[in-house]
Structure 1
Amino acid sequence: MPPTAQRPVGEYTTDDRERWAAEAPKSQERTPFERDRARILHSSALRRLGAKTQVLGPASDDFVRTRLTHTLEVAQVGRELGKALGCDPDVVDTACLAHDLGHPPFGHNGERALAEVSAGIGGFEGNAQTLRLLTRLEPKVADPATGRPVGLNLTRASLDASTKYPWSALDAPLRPDGTPSAKFGVYADDAEVFAWLRVGAPERVRCLEAQVMDLADDISYSVHDVEDAVVGGRLELDVLADPAARDRVVAQVMDWYGSVVDEDGLQAAMRRLPATDTWVSGFDGSRRALAALKDMTSQLIGRFCDAAIDATREVYGSGPLTRYAAELVVPAPTLAEILVLKGLAVTYVMAPREQEPLYRRQRELIADLVAVLSDRAPVALEPPFAADWLAAGDDSGRLRVVVDQVASLTDVSAAEWHARLVRPSRL
């Protein structure tokens, strides 16, 4: 969208710096956006990401990325990408650090399990849970007027930048095949704060900082998941020389991510990537090979970021770009290359694991925890969630509190809670 008449291009306004609950004036040594970033860094939710699954479980080996290491990598990529476009780097950094805070134990597998058990109360979505955590669950600020917890009480600009899907499940846009998107960014009972943070925003349009965060996320996990897969012996990059393997990757991309890029575009990307100077062939696990692989990931990140910066600048010029003054432009060939890397991770890591008994047991563990905590609440809940449960007005509200509790757990603590609360009852 072109720059609007209401907002000077490159500037952040008083409304952007406003917080949901008024706070006493602070010293001027730090900007409001620097304070937002610090609040995320010091949050318990960020610390818990260190024991939550990214693609492989945190305990699978010492090299594999966790949600926390992935988040730090996204923040580094997003900060530099946003800064190159003129966004406030702390707003983008905050959004990147926050983007996965709402993910439950066991990654997307746990998200799927919680979505099933909460289907009757509006479902579960990691991005909607992130907003709930930032504005309600993470203990930092209480509204001085009402005493109500307001989470980290971030500025409007930072909250909006952290909202990857600015719509509810009922308002989700249609995908190319005509079905509603399964992704959404707000639950019904968080609608009030969502409406506040979206004041002045075009309906279902992400601000530029959120788009930068989303691309940084895509770049980071597409490149780094492939790196982890190669080091872990699950993938040889020479596989792209095999036409049958390329066809399998295309099929997985279409199945997991839809037809954002057509088959010809994906096949062309699979020819371009191995032709780059830094593409790794014949990985043997040596330090020299590890260094070459690391150089490849670094060069790919730079390749994708530079392409987006150049394409965006071509449309919007060289001045600073913020909020709704511009949209991030990602060239189709770049998007295709990112999707190919995602497809490699899906084909050789993520899709095969779906058939493993471990992943079924993880979903069962989550469902068991929701059932037993619903039965034993509020006693079995941690004190903050017990208070929420007692304050809830109906069974739907109480179930949402139980889901909040389970979503807050790490992979390790979820297993420990299950051993303590569920297994003894089965003896």
Structure 2
Amino acid sequence: MDRVEGLYDEHARERIVPEPPKRVEAPERLPFERDRARVVHAASFRRLAAKTQVVGPQSDDFVRNRLTHSLEVAQIARDLSRALGTHPDITETAALAHDLGHPPFGHNGERALAALATECGGFEGNAQTLRLLTRLEAKSVDAAGESVGLNLTRATLDACTKYPWSRGEAPSAAAGKFGVYDDDRPAFDWLRDGASAGRRCVEAQVMDLADDVAYSVHDVEDGTVAGKVDLTALDTAAVWETVRSWYLPEATDSGLDDVLSRLRAVGSWPRSSYDGTRGGLASLKNLTSDLIGRFCGSVQQATFAAADGPFVRYGTDLVVPAETWAEITVLKGIAAHYVMEDATRVALQVRQRELLTELVGVLLERDGDDLDESFAVDWAGAANDAARTRVVIDQVATLTDASALAWHRRLLP
């Protein structure tokens, strides 16, 4: 056992269902390595390749989908974790798993299912991720024959919990985000054993920051290549309105101007419009790399300055300097204004929400007849209408963008 592994005790390595070491010829994998492998081999992980990140995966060969985004988040999380001395396998696994619960059409699909699931406990991508990891993914069962999902260790499951509270416990600042449905509470209470209410372990904080860094930088990159963003000709007045609307309502124009000036001072910030050449793409990739390094380096320095470590579980917290967070947020605002608020995309999103609403409706009407076998079993065991609605929501949430369209065409010709 290496030094970092030794920082995690038996409580952190415990699984819901105990598993003895396997007798195999190959060297035995350590518990957190096994966790990572289980997520990589999960069906819900493979499906991310066909789920929307910002624009649909079928629209362009270059743009990121949920799978490529998750791989990039994992790389950032692993590098930052290694620099901090946190277990890299735990944070990488959490990053790989962080979007498993996203339904078809990304956050737009999430909004549609949330509206449909009001009476059965709501829908939230992070809560759905926990449901997949502890129930819906098939790997292990308990003594009663009930699925416990991938049966990951406590430390890994805790690191996957971005919002460690239920819908009814969500703080006002969470803006409706939550990490567990009421009927998944037993698994949640088990993984949170010994943790203070509402506090995230440092591994979850690393995963969350890596997610923010990845999509703030990569969404701008994708938007630039798609011709929607020109970093040399930003309409700052309009972008700042988007930043205030989406992220920082109290931000001033002058304050945001200062943030943009710092970003423009990065040596690889473009001085001419993207031209689609290999040289132009190389320059854009250099900017992406420099920004990721800038943000993670700043956080690493601030975290080391605030505490001595070790940076494990609940021993300390990640420190994100206000200046760094402002820079990340400005990049998010640029992508939001030029990509997410694009009129064509907004119109498409309306139809996507209608499609999911119609699909859920017809599946409920057909009394479970068209559900996949595992969900048909869940339907048969559901005690009431709310439980049956949850089964249908679970089914639809597993679908990719393409399969949601195919199911809709088949059931609603």
Shared fold, TM over 0.5: yes
- 2:123 is aligned with 1:124: yes
Residues 311 and 156 (structure 1 numbering): CA distance in 2 closer, same or farther, change over 3 Å? Answer: same
The residue aligned with 1:12 is 8
CA deviation vs aligned residue, 1:211-262 (integer Å, no higher than 9, x gap): 000000000000000000000000100124xxxx223222212211244866
Residue 166 (structure 1) aligned to one of 146, 164, 167:
164
Distance 1:413 1:90 in 2: 32
Residues 354 and 377 (structure 1 numbering): CA distance in 2 closer, same or farther, change over 3 Å? Answer: farther
Distance 1:377 1:266 in 2: 53
Q: Report the secondary structure of 2:156's partner residue.
A: helix
Distance 1:312 1:357 in 2: 43
The residue aligned with 2:47 is 48
Cα shift at 1:154: 0.4
Q: Is the 8 A contact 2:340 2:346 kept in 1?
A: no
Moved more, 388-397 or 254-263: 254-263
The residue aligned with 2:319 is 329
- Equivalence map 1:172-183=2 (5 Å): 172-175=170-173, 181-183=175-177
- Equivalence map 1:134-213=2 (5 Å): 134-143=133-142, 145-175=143-173, 181-213=175-207
Residues 262 and 161 (structure 1 numbering): CA distance in 2 closer, same or farther, change over 3 Å? Answer: farther
Moved more, 355-364 or 95-104: 355-364
- Equivalence map 1:171-320=2 (5 Å): 171-175=169-173, 181-240=175-234, 245-259=235-249, 264-281=254-271, 282-317=273-308, 319-320=309-310
Q: Is the 8 A contact 1:261 1:336 kept in 2?
A: no
Q: Is the 8 A contact 1:9 1:325 kept in 2?
A: no
The residue aligned with 1:84 is 83
Residues 61 and 9 (structure 1 numbering): CA distance in 2 closer, same or farther, change over 3 Å? Answer: closer
The residue aligned with 2:331 is 341
Cα shift at 1:275: 1.7
The residue aligned with 2:111 is 112
Distance 2:138 2:232 in 1: 48
Q: Is the 8 A contact 1:9 1:322 kept in 2?
A: no
Residues 342 and 251 (structure 1 numbering): CA distance in 2 closer, same or farther, change over 3 Å? Answer: same
- 2:20 is aligned with 1:24: yes
Unpaired runs of 5+ residues, structure 2, are none
Q: Report the secondary structure of 1:238's partner residue.
A: coil
Q: Is the 8 A contact 2:53 2:106 kept in 1?
A: yes
Residues 262 and 217 (structure 1 numbering): CA distance in 2 closer, same or farther, change over 3 Å? Answer: farther
Identity %: 57
Distance 1:100 1:264 in 2: 35
Unpaired runs of 5+ residues, structure 1, are 1-7
Residues 9 and 322 (structure 1 numbering): CA distance in 2 closer, same or farther, change over 3 Å? Answer: farther
- 2:408 is aligned with 1:418: yes
What one-letter code is carried by the residue in structure 2 that aligns with 1:418?
H
Distance 2:343 2:62 in 1: 19
- 2:397 is aligned with 1:392: no
Q: Is the 8 A contact 2:103 2:109 kept in 1?
A: yes
CA deviation vs aligned residue, 1:336-384 (integer Å, no higher than 9, x gap): 0000100000000001247643211110110011001111132100000
Distance 1:396 1:286 in 2: 54
Distance 1:114 1:26 in 2: 40
CA deviation vs aligned residue, 1:170-203 (integer Å, no higher than 9, x gap): 101122xxxx631100011111111111011111
Q: Is the 8 A contact 1:308 1:331 kept in 2?
A: yes
Q: Is the 8 A contact 2:5 2:87 kept in 1?
A: no
Structure 1 length as normaliser, TM-score? Answer: 0.92
Number of equivalent positions:
406
Residues 263 and 189 (structure 1 numbering): CA distance in 2 closer, same or farther, change over 3 Å? Answer: farther
What one-letter code is carried by the residue in structure 2 that aligns with 1:12?
Y
Distance 1:9 1:98 in 2: 21
Residues 139 and 205 (structure 1 numbering): CA distance in 2 closer, same or farther, change over 3 Å? Answer: same
The residue aligned with 1:408 is 398
Residues 312 and 9 (structure 1 numbering): CA distance in 2 closer, same or farther, change over 3 Å? Answer: farther
What one-letter code is carried by the residue in structure 2 that aligns with 1:405?
Q
CA deviation vs aligned residue, 1:254-288 (integer Å, no higher than 9, x gap): 21124486655432111111121100132111110
Q: Report the secondary structure of 1:237's partner residue.
A: coil
RMSD of aligned alpha carbons: 1.7
Distance 1:379 1:24 in 2: 39
Q: Report the secondary structure of 2:268's partner residue.
A: coil
Residues 131 and 87 (structure 1 numbering): CA distance in 2 closer, same or farther, change over 3 Å? Answer: same
CA deviation vs aligned residue, 1:47-101 (integer Å, no higher than 9, x gap): 0000000000001111010000000000000011011111111000110000000
Residues 172 and 258 (structure 1 numbering): CA distance in 2 closer, same or farther, change over 3 Å? Answer: farther
The residue aligned with 1:359 is 349
The residue aligned with 1:4 is none
Q: Report the secondary structure of 1:29's partner residue.
A: coil
Q: Is the 8 A contact 1:9 1:320 kept in 2?
A: no
Distance 1:57 1:335 in 2: 28
